[in-house]
Amino acid sequence: MLVARDLHTFFDSSHVLHGIDFSVAEGETVALMGRNGVGKTTLIRSMLGHVQPRTGSVRIAGRDATRLAPYRIARLGVAYVPEGRGVFPNLSVIENLVMAARPGDDRRTGWTLERVLETFPRLSERLQHRGMQLSGGEQQMLTLGRALMTNPKLLVLDEATEGLAPLIAQEIWHTIRVLRDAGTATIIVDKNFAVLSHLAHRCVILVKGRKVFDGPPAELSMQPGLRRQYLGI
Amino acid sequence: MEWLIQILNSVQYGLLLFLVASGLTLIFGIMGVINLAHGSFYMIGAYLAFSLAELTGSLWTALPLGIVLAFALGLVLEILLISRLYRRDHLYQVLLTFGLILVFEEMRSILVGDDVHGVAIPALLDASLPLTENLSYPVYRLFISAVCLVLAALMYFTIQKTRLGMMVRAGASNAEMTQALGINIRWIHALVFAAGVALAVFAGMIAAPVSSVFPGMGNQVLIICFVIVVIGGIGSLKGALIASLLIGFVDTFGKVLLPELAGVAVYLLMAIVLLFRPAGLYGRP
Ligand SMILES: Nc1ncnc2c1ncn2[C@@H]1O[C@H](COP(=O)(O)OP(=O)(O)OP(=O)(O)O)[C@@H](O)[C@H]1O
Ligand SMILES: [Mg+2]
């Protein structure tokens, strides 16, 4: 589904990604982990066209996506829920959803407005509210629901449960599980190792812009030393 | 009855200004570009009305032709020049778009000359509506108001009710997120700019029969339209509409009631509005 090779990304002269290989197979759930500032968000943005890596290549759905504009990458079937959400504050809830509606790259239309509202009933009570009037949890549901309106094959979630009340986080996790079981590939960045270790097929750990671990979560669970060293948990 | 005529004139003038100011405020609000050349499009419209009406023999054929040409001009300008300004400082924007004014005026001078022209009111609308025994109102001016109102409603509908409008508004608040949803923001920007150009050109075209066609007419309109954008609040269409009508009234009645203040009345209005609402009527501070 997505294969990135040897990505080097710079912000001016600061070298943030030091040659990262990263991949997600069809239907695979990959947890991207690491302490604050190691480059998780930068890796995601480098793969999705929001940041230009200086060298390296990205292939998505069998196509070279290295220098592709973000909207073209999205049309290959990739939906992105960025850090800090990205709800359009000046659009109503229903407008946030409707403006994004699109059949998937293979004409899939499994996710409709009705189904998104069924998944997040709270949103249907607030259809006419503006994005800026929503609580943090509602905003997160809206961004996730909006991402689903594009009928993605790969969903990228950067800190989707950050700062949410436990009950709401649970609702988000539940949806992610449903997506995983339905065969949607997912890249998840999150602090909740306990949940990720059950959910993910594979974990990738970054340290200072380098990949230091790539394997099944069971392997990490068996090696508390690795976890402590790389994640501080 | 004299005052009724002044009211109708105010509304007509205000609505016409709105067509130009709406593009200016949208381009500023959505792309962040200060477009000094926006008044030139009004001038180009007036000269297009003159030239195309001569060429085709009728303003009715000239109008659609002019709109198509204007839209194409807008797309070409946006893609070749204006899109390079989005990430740049206002200074670059002002320099480039001021350069465009000079280019447009020079082209106008080469192609059509520097003479003042008039455009005939189309025969179909060349009539007057009697108000009293000795007062009447030209039908063509009512036609201008009606067309402007229809366009304003169309604009409102497109921006507030269609998916395209939602994408435009989304792009204005978060361009990166809009792209991440598979929307080509560059096309949205080109479309908004071209629509703004087409509106200003169209305003110049329909205004041509009631205001003569002369060099530099764009600059007058540009300044008034900046006043409107500031009064209405940058980026707000509703604000631009209300401010346009206010300016229409202040300017028209100012000339009648306080002729010695006519030149400064609109600036006084702006100063008063900004005193109470520094971000304009509908601006977000
Ligand atoms: N736009 C930018 N300009 C300059 N430096 C940046 C920029 N974005 C990120 N960085 C730097 O790159 C490094 C990696 O940041 P990044 O946001 O990718 O980390 P992260 O792993 O996502 O962290 P977090 O867990 O805090 O979200 C950090 O040192 C950060 O300061
Ligand atoms: Mg991050």
Cα separation values, A216 from A42, A197, A201, B78, Å: 23, 9, 6, 50
Neighboring chain A residues of B184 at a CB cutoff of 8 Å: 69, 71
Please give the number of the atom of ligand 1 that sits closest to the Cα of A35: 25
Residue type, B227: V
Size of interface A-B (CB pairs under 8 A): 64
Neighboring chain A residues of B182 at a CB cutoff of 8 Å: 71, 74-75, 100, 102, 150
Residue B261: which pLDDT band, with cuts at 50, 70 and 90? confident
Q: What is the pLDDT of residues B129-149, one digit of tens each?
A: 888 888 889 999 999 999 999
Residue B1, pLDDT > 80, answer no
Residue B158: which pLDDT band, with cuts at 50, 70 and 90? very high
Tell me the residues of chain B between 153 and 172 that have a Cβ less than 8 Å away from chain A.
Answer: 163, 166-167, 169-170, 172
Please give the number of the atom of ligand 1 that sits closest to the Cα of A36: 25
pLDDT value at residue B132: 83
| % of residues, chain B, pLDDT over 70 | 100
Rounded Cα distance between A179 and A126, Å, is: 24
Task: Determine the residue among A68, A83, A95, A156 to mutate to test chain B binding: the one whose Cβ has the most chain B Cβ atoms within 10 Å.
Answer: A95
Other CB atoms within 10 A of residue A230 CB:
18
The domains of chain A, with CATH numbers, are 1-74+187-233 (3.40.50.300)
Rounded Cα distance between B113 and A189, Å, is: 65
Instruction: Mark yes or no for CB contact A90/B185 under 8 Å.
Output: no
Q: What is the pLDDT of residues B181-233, one digit of tens each?
A: 999 999 999 999 999 999 999 999 999 999 889 998 999 999 999 999 999 99
Residue type, B236: S
Specify the higher pLDDT residue, A231 or B276: B276
Rounded Cα distance between A146 and A102, Å, is: 10
Quote the pTM value: 0.91
For chain B, what is the radius of gyration of the CA atoms? 19
Q: How is residue B213 annotated by DSSP?
A: B
Residue B1 · residue B238 · CB < 8 Å: no
Q: How is residue A10 annotated by DSSP?
A: E
Instruction: Mark yes or no for CB contact B181/A95 under 8 Å.
Output: no
Neighboring chain B residues of A150 at a CB cutoff of 8 Å: 181-182
Residue B260, pLDDT > 90, answer no
Instruction: Mark yes or no for CB contact A71/B167 under 8 Å.
Output: no
Q: Mean pLDDT throughout B35-62?
A: 95
Neighboring chain B residues of A156 at a CB cutoff of 8 Å: none
Residue B188 · residue B180 · CB < 8 Å: no
pLDDT value at residue A5: 95
Question: In the predicted model, what is the mean pLDDT of chain B?
Answer: 94
Residue B27 · residue B192 · CB < 8 Å: yes
Q: A219 to chain B, minimum CA–CA distance in Å?
A: 34
Specify the higher pLDDT residue, B273 or B2: B273
Residue B39 · residue B168 · CB < 8 Å: no
Q: Is A41 in the pocket of ligand 1 (CB under 6 A)?
A: yes
pLDDT in tens, chain A (233 residues): 999 999 999 999 999 999 999 999 999 999 999 999 999 999 999 999 999 999 999 999 999 999 999 999 999 999 999 998 799 999 999 999 999 999 987 777 789 999 999 999 999 999 999 999 999 999 999 999 999 999 999 999 999 898 899 999 999 999 999 999 999 999 999 988 889 999 999 999 999 999 999 999 998 888 888 888 888 77
CB under 8 Å to B58, separation ≥6 — which residues?
B122
Instruction: Mark yes or no for CB contact A91/B169 under 8 Å.
Output: yes
* DSSP letter string, B30-90: HH----TTHHHHHHHHHHHHHHHHHHHS-HHHHHHHHHHHHHHHHHHHHHHTGGGGTTS-H
Distance A223 CA to ligand 2 centre (A): 25
Residue B284: which pLDDT band, with cuts at 50, 70 and 90? confident
**H-helix or E-strand spanning residue B205:** helix B185-207
Q: Which of A9, A12, A14, A41 to mutate to test the pocket of ligand 1 (most atoms within 8 A of CB)?
A: A41
Q: Is A45 in the pocket of ligand 1 (CB under 6 A)?
A: no
* DSSP letter string, B205-272: HHHTTTS-B-TTHHHHHHHHHHHHHHHH-TT-HHHHHHHHHHHHHHHHHHHHH-GGGTTTHHHHHHHH
